[in-house]
């Protein structure tokens, strides 16, 4: 049967004490609403209807997509009223109702609920809580059948003792839903139209209420303030850490690890404390990542070693390359096999050939470095004239002396050497020594020093 999803995301979130709409506050680098939409899409609905109110334009700007229909709830008059604003746009047989501030709901939980919904039945996700304060209580008859939901503020003292709470997540046929919504009343303590009142209406119409529960109560926990937001963040991160460890990743301390994106991993990977992975990251076999590293939108090939306090963003690291400590690789950086980037080195839009080394205190921008090169400490490429960027190209087996400035555009030929402290402003021929301390001198057919016996 066809399915459409309604996500309620109109709340202001007063307790967040923020001008940002509540559903745009982030868990693991992604907005709460973003998490819910991502989960909803996995169910392949025909359409997703997002009910927005406070900060509607800001929400819509962040989630423009063909499969999303935004519905404005001008006044926030309760969950029943919110669903009623979206229902006229629903054409599918069944409807699933989700919440934009319940970000950790899982696909498997929702699929299990949907599978229970048959003819003349309504699916309700409930949760058994150690402390159900604030939740609507599930009222069952003597046979265990759900007959109603009573909100906390309207519950009697005996009803408040019930530990089975309502998550608000419903799966049900669309046609009777439209009828029940039209019959809702706001004669209650809050003066709102409760979506939960349709449960009693469904029972009166001889519908069976089928229930299912999530594996953890945190999966259906909403975030109404920053304390709850932080609790959800840590639960998400610990769950992500546990999943990675099951795949062969060793985390020195799973409680000090953060994943803020998507990751593909091999086996025998070791990650030290306080590592943050952002965006799309691929980590192949036998990679080691030191403490306090940030890795974003990058690929780490087999055997890569990243030493502590390094930042990797938009880079590809070849097999057996090593980086850091305190290194920064910016977007467009490619390290080929067995390369070395040392402490306080920054590379941007730079390719480093096989077995080449950049040991210390160096900046290379818009640079192509061949194989078996050595870049001395304090070297910089002067790639920007204030308006335009230019390239620096180094051939194979080039040796750059310490404290050299390579003024782009410049090409340094194979096996050439620049003397320490030189400013190189013109191309350097292969197999030559360039000295640019005062006036650049080139010695052709210069023989490199050989190791002492």
Whether 187 has a binding-site annotation, put simply, is no
Whether 384 has a binding-site annotation, put simply, is yes
Whether 246 has a binding-site annotation, put simply, is no
Catalytic residue (one of 49, 311, 336, 360): 360
Whether 62 has a binding-site annotation, put simply, is no
Q: Would you call 311 a catalytic residue per the annotation?
A: no
**Residue 409 preceded by cis peptide, ω within 30:** yes
Whether 78 has a binding-site annotation, put simply, is yes
Whether 99 has a binding-site annotation, put simply, is yes
**Contact present, 36 and 107 (Cβ < 8 Å):** no
Whether 330 has a binding-site annotation, put simply, is yes
Whether 206 has a binding-site annotation, put simply, is no
Torsion-angle region of 32 (φ positive above 0: left; ψ -120 to 50: alpha; else: beta): alpha
Whether 193 has a binding-site annotation, put simply, is no
Whether 363 has a binding-site annotation, put simply, is yes
Whether 240 has a binding-site annotation, put simply, is no
**Contact present, 399 and 432 (Cβ < 8 Å):** no
Distance, CA of 110 to CA of 202 (rounded, Å):
21
Whether 160 has a binding-site annotation, put simply, is no
Whether 200 has a binding-site annotation, put simply, is no
Whether 41 has a binding-site annotation, put simply, is no
Whether 233 has a binding-site annotation, put simply, is no
Whether 374 has a binding-site annotation, put simply, is yes
> Binding site: what residues are annotated?
8-11, 22, 73, 78-79, 99-101, 136, 151, 166, 224, 330, 348, 363, 374, 377, 383-384, 402, 420, 437
> Binding site for Mg(2+): what residues are annotated?
101, 224
Q: Which residues are catalytic?
A: 360
> Binding site for UDP-N-acetyl-alpha-D-glucosamine: what residues are annotated?
8-11, 22, 73, 78-79, 99-101, 136, 151, 166, 224, 330, 348, 363, 374
């Amino acid at each position: 049967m066809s399915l459409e999803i309604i996500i309620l995301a109109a709340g202001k979130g007063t307790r967040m004490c923020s001008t940002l709409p509540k559903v745009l506050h982030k868990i693991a680098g992604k907005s709460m609403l973003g998490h819910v939409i991502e989960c909803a899409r996995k169910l392949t609905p025909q359409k997703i209807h997002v009910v927005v109110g406070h900060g509607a334009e800001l929400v819509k700007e962040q989630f423009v997509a063909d499969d999303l229909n935004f519905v404005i709830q001008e006044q926030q008059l309760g969950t029943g009223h919110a669903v009623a604003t979206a229902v006229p746009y629903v054409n599918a047989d069944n409807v699933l109702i989700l919440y934009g501030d319940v970000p950790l709901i899982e696909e498997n939980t929702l699929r299990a609920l949907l599978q229970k919904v048959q003819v003349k039945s309504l699916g309700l996700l409930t949760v058994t809580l150690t402390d159900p304060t604030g939740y609507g209580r599930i009222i069952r008859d003597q046979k265990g059948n759900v007959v109603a939901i009573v909100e906390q503020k309207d519950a009697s003292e005996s009803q408040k003792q019930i530990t089975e709470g309502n998550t608000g997540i419903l799966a049900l046929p669309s046609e009777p839903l439209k009828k029940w919504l039209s019959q809702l009343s706001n004669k209650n303590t809050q003066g709102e139209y409760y979506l939960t009142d349709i449960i009693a209406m469904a029972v009166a119409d001889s519908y069976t209420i089928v229930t299912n529960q999530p594996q953890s109560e945190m999966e259906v926990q909403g975030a109404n303030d920053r304390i709850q937001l932080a609790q959800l963040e840590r639960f998400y991160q610990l769950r992500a850490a546990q999943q990675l460890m099951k795949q062969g990743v060793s985390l020195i301390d799973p409680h000090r690890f953060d994943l803020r994106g998507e990751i593909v991993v091999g086996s025998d990977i070791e990650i030290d404390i306080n590592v943050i992975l952002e965006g799309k990251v691929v980590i192949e076999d036998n990679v080691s990542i030191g403490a306090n590293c940030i890795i974003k939108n990058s690929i780490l090939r087999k055997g890569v070693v990243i030493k502590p306090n390094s930042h990797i963003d938009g880079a590809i690291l070849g097999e057996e390359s090593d980086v850091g400590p305190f290194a920064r690789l910016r977007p467009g950086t490619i390290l080929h096999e067995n390369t070395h980037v040392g402490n306080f080195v920054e590379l941007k839009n730079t390719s480093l050939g096989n077995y080449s080394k950049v040991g210390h205190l160096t900046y290379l921008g818009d640079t192509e470095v061949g194989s078996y090169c050595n870049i001395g400490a304090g070297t910089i490429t002067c790639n920007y004239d204030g308006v335009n960027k230019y390239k620096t190209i180094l051939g194979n087996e080039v040796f750059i002396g310490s404290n050299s400035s390579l003024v782009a555009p410049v090409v340094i030929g194979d096996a050439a050497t620049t003397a320490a402290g030189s400013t190189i402003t013109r191309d350097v021929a292969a197999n030559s020594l360039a000295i640019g301390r005062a006036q650049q001198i080139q010695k052709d057919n210069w023989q490199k020093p050989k190791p002492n016996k």
